[in-house]
Structure 1
């Protein structure tokens, strides 16, 4: 038996704004754009991981009103789980993402536990960390 991660969901306020960030600033490729019931789900991925996709959707997409409201509140507070990407060049990736106008939370530093990393907020306030090997 084998098991592998296939999808990871990121809740966002505006799918188009977030698509621009994850596609244009981070360099992910858009793979699917599905509409249903007035909502959209957009999937993105990296050519380096063809079987893994990130799904962008709004808080109320596919959820009850109460669940969507609760998720929206958590998103607004900025307390949803973060996402961590890896790269072969943290500093170059940092400059590319910063040039997009993304909010910088942490410039590249060598962490005591191992990786060199940096952090941003996506347009919806989700924390996005980018890590690589120490320089």
Structure 2
């Protein structure tokens, strides 16, 4: 069987801020930027890992969602409790310095965890939790 992760989805609440974070601070390429009915879906990916991407989408666009559910989703996004992803790099300290210089919302500086992982954590401009593991 040949199965792969192709897309992962995270909501964004500000397309330009999302692009600045994922492209300029993290170093991803913008693979696709689609405007549809005043909303934007932005696909970003690592230049070193073609075919696996993050799709940054407008939150709560499902037509079956009620206004109350939409408000709840937006509140969870703002609190950082809705979306999360773990990335990995061979230069955690260098990437962390770049994120810090960009003004990213720092949650955890690079730390050697007791379970054997060195990692850091930030929030993207929408509030999504981004953990970054150090690859050895």
Instruction: Give the TM-score of the pair, scaled to structure 2.
Output: 0.90
Query: Match of 1:21?
Result: 21
Shift in alpha-carbon separation, 1:7–1:63, aligned structure 2, 3 A:
farther
Within the candidate set 85, 99, 102, 1:100 is matched to 102
Shift of 1:69: 3.6
Residue 130 of structure 2 aligns to a residue whose secondary structure is strand
1:46 alignment counterpart: 46
How many residue pairs get aligned? The number is: 134
Counterpart residue number, 1:55: 55
Q: Gapped runs of 5+ residues in structure 2?
A: none
Distance 1:87 1:125 in 2: 21
Kindly indicate whether the alpha-carbon contact (under 8 Å) linking 2:80 and 2:123 is maintained by their aligned counterparts in 1. no
Superposition CA RMSD, Å: 1.6
CA contact (8 A) 1:105 1:119 kept: yes
Which runs of structure 1 show a deviation greater than 6 angstroms over 4 or more consecutive aligned residues?
Answer: none
Residues in 2 aligned to 1:103 and 1:18: alpha-carbon distance in whole angstroms: 13
Partner residue, 1:116: 118
Instruction: Give the deviation of 1:19 after TM superposition.
Output: 1.1
- Cα deviation for residue 77 of structure 1 reads 2.8
Render the CA deviation track for 1:103-128: whole Å, top value 9, x for unaligned: 11111111111111111111111111
Unaligned runs of 5+ in 1: none
Q: Secondary structure at the match of 2:44?
A: strand
Alignment correspondent of 2:3 = 3
SS at match of 1:74: helix
